[in-house]
Structure 1
Amino acid sequence: MIRKITESDVDEAWLNYLLELNKKMTYVKANVSASKAGSSGGKAGKAGKAGPPPIRALKDVGPELERLRIRASGIIRDFFLNKIRSLRIPNTNIQILQQSVLLKYKELHRFLMERHGDGAAEVRQTYVNTMRWYFYNHFERYSKGLGKLQAVIADKTDLIGVEESAKKGLFGTGKVALKDKTNVFALGDRIETLRQQDAGVILVHVAEDKSQKYPYEALFRSFNLTMIDNASSEYLFIVEFFATDNEKMAADLAKSVFHDIFEPTEKMGLMTTKQYVDNSYDAVGILLCIRINTQLTMELQRRRVPALEAYTNATNMLLWPRFQHIMDLHFQSVKKMAANKQVLASVRDVHPHYVTRRYAEFAASILTLNEEYSDPNLNNSLQRLRNEVEGLLARMANELSEHKNRIVFLINNYDLIASVLKESAGKTVEAELEHVNALLSVQIGAFVDEELIPYFGNLVNFVKHAEQVKNVAGIDADRFEKISYEFNTTWRQNITSINASVIQLFSNFKNGTTVLHAVLGQLIVYYTRFCVLLEQRFQGGGKANGGSSRKQEAGIASWKQPPVGVQTVMVEIKKFRSNF
């Protein structure tokens, strides 16, 4: 054993001899301690039984074991220092060296911690220094490489309430600058960065060869996923390699070693995030980063690796305030637009305003990213923005001269918001959609009467008035005949005109169909109510149903034309419903 330990290189046989040496040293120490305790007990008389007699051979063996301890400790120290320094060699695979060498001979390190504290401290500090340098340099290079792959997403002009002319003026023709620019407000495929949890990280050299560009959240995910993978592996290695019998002491030591290694890398990662965040106007991208950070935090908890908790918390503290700031910028931009008389005066037609699409896409994005979190602060911020947008649309509508056009403008804009929200799924979006549909329903209701009045105003007004009269029989029969005759002679032409009007006013096919159905449906309601009043006025004549040759009551029979039947009107209306 002496010859192997002092003359051979470290290998598995050397390890076995060292373990045998450790057992002998433990035995000697225990025997000497027991002998001393027994001797003390014997002198005390009644203190207890005397211990075993000292083994005189230990006096000869003891010095040899001590020399072996010193020699073995030196060899172990040099062995680990050489292996650790090899980590600085380019292209060294750290995980393989850790698993196949360091952990394979971790009992040597344990011997060093127990038998030569100074040597163990030197090995630990050398390992910390080496790994700190390794991780910092590798992640710094990776961060810089990722930075070159970042796509342009948003700047200070990419706010909901910024005029189109201002945005176009910034980029001139815009063809080059906007070539790779993602829609600032729509979530689109960007959510895949959040959903594809098992997707690999970005390889910089591959992306550069393919001239690929990525939104920041993809770079953020790739950097931080690489960080937690490396940190998890490193932390678990540290816990195993630097383990001691005292669990609390071992946990504290592992935490301290990990912190010393990763502190510079964490600071660099936070600084990289801060540099982006401080200049970002991409609320969707930052919220994606917040959700990605939450996923990574949960993954660390699943792996039972608490070492990066402070890092993920600090990352959150960088992201959330900037997100709220950008939300405030969006709110202020809409508020500023609502106070801009020139912008309001520029509203000339009833088509949806560009601000509406921006808001709709933005709201759908934020709501989708809040689906599994239901963050009340985020919902409050979005509701505040929604109220401001609704106020802006109302002021824009008031700029139109005709009352009907104001209603049509609001219908088209609310319909656009509803259409965009319908493309998303989830309870948070459904709640918002319900609110918008309620606004849309009110405006469609207002439009229905507004659209019917020019064509069937006399009918509508007569029905409303007659229904307020207690005695219908007291209404002059000539008035009934006049309304009936006017309806008979114009209703087909008027329905055709309404159909053409709706087609012109509502460019969205589905929305136009809904509005047309509402208008024609209400027409049926008014005419049915007229027929009921007619029956009440001329009791005994039977219901008016054109196409029947049955003799009517004498008053109606004397009319120029009998009233057209409700069923006839409904059949004709169904033709327009199917054609639109």
Structure 2
Amino acid sequence: MSTSGGAEDENAKVIETCLTELSAADFDVVRMALSDGISSAMEDYSENIKSELTKAHRTVVQECIENADKLTSLHSAIIHCDQIFENLEQVLRGFQRDLGSISEDMKNLQKQSASINCELDNRQKVRGELSQFVDDIVVSQQMIKVIVDFDASDRTFLEHLHELHRKIQFVKSQENKEARAIEDVEPILEGLKIKALEKCREWIIIKIGQFRKPLSNYQVPQHQMLKSRFFYEFLIHHDAVVAAEVQDEYVDTVGKMFFSYFKVYSSRLFKLMMGDIATKDDLLGAEDVTKSSTIGSLFGAKPQVRNRATVFSLGQRQNLLTDDFLAPLIIPHAAKEANEKFQFESLFRSIHFALVDHCSHEFLFLTDFFLVSGPIAVELHKRVMSRALTQLLRSWDEKISINYDAISLYLCICLTGKFKQLLVDRGIPNISWYWEEISNRLWQRFDQVMNLHNDSVKTLDVRKMQPPPDTRPNYIVRRYAELTCALLVITELGGPEASKKFDSILESNEDAVEQLIGRMANINKSPRDRFVCFINNYDLILGILDERVAIDTRIRTIIHELDQKAINEFVEISLAPYFSDLISFVNDCEPLIEQQASQLLVRYNEKLTLIIKHFVQTWKKSIDAINGDIVKSFTNFKNGTTILQAAFTQLISVYQRFVKVTSHDAFRNLPAKNEIVNIHHIMIELKKYKPVF
């Protein structure tokens, strides 16, 4: 079975080979063979191939015989070339071996170079750190000598103190590291630190002690302390207890110094106060003429007149809020030599300007020298200044309580606000508790003084006044106008913002004066003179306010409304004697016209005839008489002409209404209507009295 299987495989291969050769054979030959017969064709083809191969073999052999010499020399050349190539191969193999060795050497050199560089870097780092370490812990003989022997005020001492501080800080940072050299240097640094602390403390205490010297400029030792500020910084870092002791000593010493300074300065300034100041008798309702003494009256002495101009008028005192606010301080001895005297508010400004300057300078020094900021700096500043501020409050209590000058008190209130803001602008703690205390006391006293003014006006008996009040503006009203104007000008320049307390005080004062004007007006018997009194006094107040106060105020609005009301009443009273029938006719007939009561209007025909005839005959004379009465009634000519124009305006308005009433059908057939004066004629006549200014 196996033998037959192998034969079949071989036959298949033979067949496959034949097919392959057949596919590669010449197609024409194959076709010819197939056409002539396979056997004969194959035989012929085989014979041809054999003959061609025999012929080719003979040809090749012949050519080899002919070229035998050439083939021999070619064979020799090939053998020689093989030898040359063999030598070249050996040389190249040698080069290859050498190159491999060089590459390995280069790799080894590269590794050695990297290793050497690493070692060099490590050694340089170690050398630098070790050198720095040695420099940081080594205590030189020069340092020891300077710290122990040199005076603390020497600049060299300060330089070595910085170096000592740095070394101590470095040694502390190395405590948890294994550096045995630290153990050797620690005792030396500790001894130097104790010596340095002792010298720093002693130097600062000596400088603080210089503040106690009388008449000395305390800013000089402060400047020296700032130059050596590191002394205190050294104390803070290395002995907080000593640093706190030094700080407490400074607070106590400088606090006493400021206490003494402001106590002496304020007492000396108060000796320069003007002698002619306001007293309890200098009130709005006080009479100018005082009673003469009994002895004086026997010899006919003239009554003494008290000049109260400075009590109620402002003058140039408002300059303290503007140009003179930051003026130099008052120097007591220089002012005394020049025989200068000052008002209360000027002393108040000078003392508090000095306080603001010292507070500003002291706060900056504390933050710089004691290295504090924020709430700690504010508290330290308060500790330094509190004693002096408390003393000032006690001193001001006494002076404020006897001050009867309302303008002065209000100026001080405004100055308080400006000084507080000045500290804020400088970035200094504004010691608000002190300003609130002083402001409250000033407001309280200001309210008391204004109440005294009000009470003096309310209790004034106008029947006993000398000279008796008349229709002219009264001097008490002028005082009120001057005082109110002064307070409003101060408010405009630098007063408290929207103070309801201040507005309430002014309104109370205005109410008291309004009642006084009413009492003075009632002394006049005729209603016309009463209104003239009202208008003259209100006009006086408005004139003073309009001249000096730029802002619109509630007080002016109130006075203006009262003035206009009085003017309207006066105008009606002034027109009544001359045109009462005409006015009464218009007032009676206008309601009847609105009610369309024509039958009732007919009854007024006869009255209307009389009114027209009387008006035609007297209107020019009446206008001239009204002009004379009004102009002569008022001390202010401009006010009189204004009221005159108001009266003429009222007359024109009434006459227009009169003409309108006469045009009603009820008066259609009235003959007297033809005589009615044209309103344009009246207006032309009134223009003659129009002021030229």
The TM-score with structure 2 as length reference comes to 0.70
Q: 2:103 aligns to what?
A: none
The letter for the 2-side match of 1:485 is: K
Q: 1:565 aligns to what?
A: 678
Determine whether 1:5 maps to 2:147: yes
Q: 1:440 aligns to what?
A: 563
**Residue 166 of structure 1, CA deviation:** 4.8
**C-alpha distance in 2 between matches for 1:168 and 1:419:** 35
Q: 1:191 aligns with which of 280, 302, 318?
A: 318
Partner SS, residue 213 of structure 1 = coil
Question: Alpha carbons of 1:182 and 1:453: their partners in 2 closer, same or farther (altered >3 Å)?
Answer: closer
1:43-66 superposed Cα distances (whole Å, 9 cap, x missing partner): xxxxxxxxx32x333333222112
**C-alpha distance in 1 between matches for 2:256 and 2:338:** 31
Partner SS, residue 310 of structure 2 = coil
**Residue 507 of structure 1, CA deviation:** 0.6
Partner SS, residue 553 of structure 2 = helix
Determine whether 1:394 maps to 2:518: yes
1:372-423 superposed Cα distances (whole Å, 9 cap, x missing partner): 5111122223222322322232232222211111111111122222222223
Q: 2:355 aligns to what?
A: 227
Q: 2:459 aligns to what?
A: 336
Determine whether 1:102 maps to 2:229: no
Q: 1:326 aligns with which of 445, 449, 453?
A: 449
**Residue 22 of structure 1, CA deviation:** 1.0
Question: Alpha carbons of 1:163 and 1:318: their partners in 2 closer, same or farther (altered >3 Å)?
Answer: same
Determine whether 1:68 maps to 2:192: yes
Q: 2:486 aligns to what?
A: 365
| Contact kept in structure 2, 1:345 and 1:399, CA below 8 Å | no
Q: 1:287 aligns to what?
A: 410
Question: Alpha carbons of 1:177 and 1:443: their partners in 2 closer, same or farther (altered >3 Å)?
Answer: closer
**C-alpha distance in 2 between matches for 1:361 and 1:195:** 20
Which ranges in structure 2 are unaligned for 5 or more consecutive residues? 1-142
Question: Alpha carbons of 1:199 and 1:566: their partners in 2 closer, same or farther (altered >3 Å)?
Answer: same
Determine whether 1:30 maps to 2:173: yes
Partner SS, residue 354 of structure 2 = helix
Higher mean C-alpha deviation, range 188-197 or range 565-574: 188-197
Q: 1:217 aligns with which of 345, 352, 362?
A: 345
Higher mean C-alpha deviation, range 145-154 or range 433-442: 145-154
| Contact kept in structure 1, 2:292 and 2:304, CA below 8 Å | no
**C-alpha distance in 1 between matches for 2:433 and 2:456:** 35
| Contact kept in structure 2, 1:352 and 1:413, CA below 8 Å | yes
Q: 1:549 aligns to what?
A: none
Partner SS, residue 564 of structure 1 = coil
Partner SS, residue 573 of structure 1 = helix
**C-alpha distance in 2 between matches for 1:414 and 1:270:** 41
Question: Alpha carbons of 1:579 and 1:495: their partners in 2 closer, same or farther (altered >3 Å)?
Answer: farther
1:491-537 superposed Cα distances (whole Å, 9 cap, x missing partner): 22222222221122111122111211111222222233333344446
Q: 2:473 aligns with which of 352, 355, 358?
A: 352
Q: 2:532 aligns to what?
A: 408
1:272-300 superposed Cα distances (whole Å, 9 cap, x missing partner): 21121110112221122112111212222
Q: 1:37 aligns to what?
A: none
**Residue 257 of structure 1, CA deviation:** 4.5
Question: Alpha carbons of 1:235 and 1:296: their partners in 2 closer, same or farther (altered >3 Å)?
Answer: same
**C-alpha distance in 1 between matches for 2:444 and 2:671:** 81
| Contact kept in structure 2, 1:8 and 1:14, CA below 8 Å | yes
Question: Alpha carbons of 1:576 and 1:363: their partners in 2 closer, same or farther (altered >3 Å)?
Answer: same
| Contact kept in structure 2, 1:444 and 1:515, CA below 8 Å | yes
Q: 1:418 aligns to what?
A: 542
Which ranges in structure 1 are unaligned for 5 or more consecutive residues? 35-51, 542-552
The letter for the 2-side match of 1:523 is: L
Q: 1:17 aligns to what?
A: 160
The TM-score with structure 1 as length reference comes to 0.83
**Residue 106 of structure 1, CA deviation:** 0.8
**Residue 223 of structure 1, CA deviation:** 0.5
**Residue 579 of structure 1, CA deviation:** 6.0
Q: 1:516 aligns to what?
A: 644
**C-alpha distance in 2 between matches for 1:435 and 1:266:** 42
**Residue 111 of structure 1, CA deviation:** 0.8
Aligned residues: 535
Q: 1:145 aligns with which of 260, 268, 275?
A: 268
Question: Alpha carbons of 1:346 and 1:326: their partners in 2 closer, same or farther (altered >3 Å)?
Answer: same
**C-alpha distance in 2 between matches for 1:173 and 1:102:** 67
Determine whether 1:157 maps to 2:281: yes
**Residue 538 of structure 1, CA deviation:** 9.2
Give the CA RMSD over aligned residues. Answer: 3.2
**C-alpha distance in 2 between matches for 1:139 and 1:177:** 35
Question: Alpha carbons of 1:142 and 1:565: their partners in 2 closer, same or farther (altered >3 Å)?
Answer: same
The 5 Å alignment of 1:219-298 reads: 219-243=347-371, 251-252=375-376, 254-255=377-378, 257-298=380-421
**Residue 224 of structure 1, CA deviation:** 0.6
Greater Cα radius of gyration, structure 1 or 2: 2
Partner SS, residue 278 of structure 2 = coil
> Looking at both structures, which has the greater relative contact order when contacts are Cα pairs under 8 Å and sequence separation is at least 6?
1
Question: Alpha carbons of 1:75 and 1:173: their partners in 2 closer, same or farther (altered >3 Å)?
Answer: farther
In terms of fraction of residues, the more helix-rich structure is: 2
**Residue 564 of structure 1, CA deviation:** 3.1
Partner SS, residue 243 of structure 1 = coil
Question: Alpha carbons of 1:508 and 1:143: their partners in 2 closer, same or farther (altered >3 Å)?
Answer: same
The letter for the 2-side match of 1:142 is: Y
Question: Alpha carbons of 1:539 and 1:322: their partners in 2 closer, same or farther (altered >3 Å)?
Answer: closer
**Residue 207 of structure 1, CA deviation:** 3.3
The letter for the 1-side match of 2:246 is: V
| Contact kept in structure 2, 1:277 and 1:319, CA below 8 Å | yes
**Residue 477 of structure 1, CA deviation:** 5.1
| Contact kept in structure 2, 1:132 and 1:262, CA below 8 Å | yes
Partner SS, residue 690 of structure 2 = helix
The letter for the 2-side match of 1:21 is: L
Question: Alpha carbons of 1:496 and 1:210: their partners in 2 closer, same or farther (altered >3 Å)?
Answer: farther
**Residue 230 of structure 1, CA deviation:** 0.5
**Residue 360 of structure 1, CA deviation:** 2.3
| Contact kept in structure 2, 1:360 and 1:416, CA below 8 Å | yes
The letter for the 1-side match of 2:586 is: V
**C-alpha distance in 2 between matches for 1:450 and 1:285:** 44
Q: 2:204 aligns to what?
A: 80
Partner SS, residue 472 of structure 2 = coil
**Residue 21 of structure 1, CA deviation:** 0.7
1:126-173 superposed Cα distances (whole Å, 9 cap, x missing partner): 43344234323332332123212322331111222233345999x997
**C-alpha distance in 2 between matches for 1:160 and 1:563:** 55
Q: 2:687 aligns to what?
A: 574
**C-alpha distance in 1 between matches for 2:541 and 2:214:** 56
Q: 2:329 aligns to what?
A: 201
Question: Alpha carbons of 1:206 and 1:125: their partners in 2 closer, same or farther (altered >3 Å)?
Answer: same
**C-alpha distance in 1 between matches for 2:222 and 2:485:** 48
Partner SS, residue 285 of structure 2 = coil
**Residue 539 of structure 1, CA deviation:** 7.7
| Contact kept in structure 1, 2:208 and 2:250, CA below 8 Å | yes
**C-alpha distance in 2 between matches for 1:530 and 1:376:** 49
Question: Alpha carbons of 1:400 and 1:539: their partners in 2 closer, same or farther (altered >3 Å)?
Answer: closer
Q: 1:381 aligns to what?
A: 505
Question: Alpha carbons of 1:7 and 1:387: their partners in 2 closer, same or farther (altered >3 Å)?
Answer: same
| Contact kept in structure 2, 1:344 and 1:396, CA below 8 Å | no
